[in-house]
Structure 1
Amino acid sequence: MEEVFFTSMRGTSLLKRFIKPEEIANLVTYIASPLSAATNGAALRADGGVIKSAF
C-alpha cells in the first residue's frame, strides 16, 4: 500500500516512504540539545521533502 501511495499520490516525495515516529523523536532530541545551538531562524521539517520540479 505504501509503495502504491507514493507512486501514484506522492510521486515527488524524496524518501518514497512514510516517516517513523523515531525520526520525529530524533529531530526533537536534536532541537532540544546543545548541538542545535547554531540552528536558529530555520523551519525544520521531518517529512522527507518534496521535489516540485525536476528543472
Structure 2
Amino acid sequence: MTSRSDDIRLGADIGGTFTDIALDVRGTMFSTKVLTNYAAPEQAILDGID
C-alpha cells in the first residue's frame, strides 16, 4: 500500500474553554470539541483524537 503525506491531515485549535479537533482522511472530514486541559493543553488534542 502506498501512503502519501496528504492522505491524512489533523488540525487543532486550543481555545480558552474548548479545543476543536478536525481530521481529514482522504477527503472525509471528522470533527469534535473537547474541554481544554489548562494544566496539559496537549492532552485535549489526544482526548479529541481518541
Pick the structure with more helix per residue: 1
* Same fold per superposition (TM over 0.5): no
Please report the TM-score for the alignment, with normalisation by the length of structure 1: 0.24
Work out which structure has the larger RCO, using CA pairs closer than 8 Å and 6 or more positions apart in sequence.
1
Please report the TM-score for the alignment, with normalisation by the length of structure 2: 0.25
